[in-house]
Amino acid sequence: MPEEIVIIECQKCGQEIGRLSEFRGRQMLIVNGIATTFWRGVCVHCGREFHWDMGTKALAELINNREQKE
Ligand SMILES: [Zn+2]
């Protein structure tokens, strides 16, 4: 099992969207048991658009901040 897991939450309402984890040496977003490098959708709780991919620097920085807090 991966050691470091970062929970990705909706930036508006805080609903958990997925978990960021190392999978076979690569950072992957895991949603409902599916490891993905790209994820796009809408939060079912508040309607905010959600877009995640490996190349998104702003989100990567957000994730790094979360790692430092935990
Ligand atoms: Zn939301």
pTM of the model: 0.60
Phi and psi angles of residue 20, each rounded to the nearest 5 degrees, phi first: -95, 130
- Span from the CA of 23 to the centroid of ligand 1 (angstroms): 26
Residue 29 DSSP SS3: strand
- Span from the CA of 40 to the centroid of ligand 1 (angstroms): 13
pLDDT for the residue 69: 59
Residue ranges of the domains in the chain?
5-57
Query: Does residue 67 carry a pLDDT above 90?
Result: no
pLDDT for the residue 2: 47
pLDDT tens, residue by residue, 5-64: 889 899 999 999 888 887 777 778 888 888 888 888 999 999 999 888 876 555 566 667
- Span from the CA of 3 to the centroid of ligand 1 (angstroms): 27
| Cβ 58 vs Cβ 51: under 8 Å | no
pLDDT for the residue 5: 81
CA distance readout (Å), 25 to 3, 11, 15, 54: 12, 27, 27, 13
